[in-house]
Structure 1
Amino acid sequence: MMEALSTTSTAAELRRAQLLLVAKELILSEGVEALRHAAVAERAGVTRAVIYRYFPTQSDFIVAIGDEFIEALKQRLSPEKQVEAARASVSSDFAAAEIYFDVVFSVLEDKGPASLMLLLEPDLTPKLKSFWASVEVEQYGHWLQESADLGITAIDSQVLIQVGKMTLLTLYKIYRAGEISRNQAVSRVSYVICSLINTLRTNPCN
C-alpha cells in the first residue's frame, strides 16, 4: 500500500513539474499575458481540469516559478556567500561580485529565465504583489542594506534593483544568442551593477 502511495505521489510530482515547464516555455515564447490555463493545457496535451488540479489560478503558476528559482539559488549559494557578494559589489570588488552573478546564470540555465522575466512585469494581483515584495527583500536585501549603510537613498536603491534585473536579463539573452561568452556576460553584469552602486555612493542624487 505504501509503495502504491509513493508511486502516485511521484507521478503527481512529475505531472506538476511538466506543467510548470510548459508554463515557463509559454512565458518565454509569448509573454506573461499568454499564461492562461487553456494555453498551458493545449501545449501540455491535457484537459484544463488537470491544470486546475495542480495550479488553481494563474498566480499559483507564477509563485511556483518564483519559488523554484529562489530554492535553486539557495542550494547553490549560501546566505553567507550572498552577503559577501553584496559587500563586494559596493566596494568595487568585481571579481568577488561575479561569483554571485555566475551562480545566478547557472540557475537561469537550469530553470530558465521565466522567473526573471516575471520580476520585470507589473504586479498582476495583490497576492503576487506581496509575493514579489518578499522575493525582493530576500534576494536584494543584502544589497539594500549595504547601499543604505553607504548613504544611498531608498529611491535610488529601487532604481538600482530594476536596472540590475534588466541588465541581468538582457545580458543573459545576449549570451544565449551566442553573441558573447558566458564569462563575458557575467563580467558585464557585475561591472554595470557595481559601477552604478559606486556612482550613487560617490555622487548621490538629491
Structure 2
Amino acid sequence: MSGNFESYRREYTAGGLTAADLPDSPFSQFERWLEQAVNAGLSDPTAMALSTIDEDGRPWQRIVLLKGLSEAGFVFYTNFGSDKAEAISANPNVSLLFPWNELDRQVIVGGTAKRMSFAESAAYFLSRPRESQIAAWASRQSRPIAKRALLEEEVRKLRNKFAEGEVPVPDFWGGYRVQPERIEFWQGGEHRLHDRFRYQLDGQGVWSLSQLQP
C-alpha cells in the first residue's frame, strides 16, 4: 500500500440542489432529506459525527445516533462521564455531520449542546431494549478497562440485580439537545461544482439562506 490516493476520484451525479428547492425552515429540509435517506435504504441514516472541543482546546469526533428532532434541536444520548459529555461541559459549542455518501449528500450542523431534563431522558431510557438499558449501567463510558471480560461480568451482575421489574434510569446517563445556529446542506455536483446552501439563525430567531461556492 503506497498511501498515495491522488488518482482516486469519482463524479457526483446523484442530482443538484437549487434555492427554489429549499423551504424557509432548515428543519423541513432536513426532515425531507432524512426521509429520502431512510427510503434509499441507507444502513444508518440517523448516524451523525459529533465534534467537540475539550478543555485543552483539542477537537475530537465520534459517531452517535440522532434520537430526536424538533425546532428546538437535534437529540442524542450518552453517559455524563464520557469524553463527549466532559468536553461539552468545558465547551458546549459542537458540530454535527450527517454523511449520506450514497446520495452524494451531507448536512453540517453548528450549535450549542445542552443537557436535557431528567424527565425527557427517562422517557427515552424506559423505551430502550432491556439489554441496552443494562449496558448503560455497565459501561463507564470512555474510562479504561483491563479486558472485555470485566465488562461482560458487570453485565452479568446487573442482569441478576435487575432480574425483576424495570431497570431504573441511571443518574449518570441522559440526553443532550444541540440547538443549531447554522445548518448547511451539501449536494455533490459534477466536476466538483457542488451545491452548498447555509441557513443562518439571526438574533431575532429568523433563519436566512445563502448559497456558498463549492
Q: Give TM-score, length-normalised by structure 1.
A: 0.26
Considering Cα pairs closer than 8 Å and 6+ residues apart, tell me whether 1 or 2 has the greater RCO. Answer: 2
Higher percent of residues as helix: 1
Q: Quick check: which has more Rg, 1 or 2?
A: 2
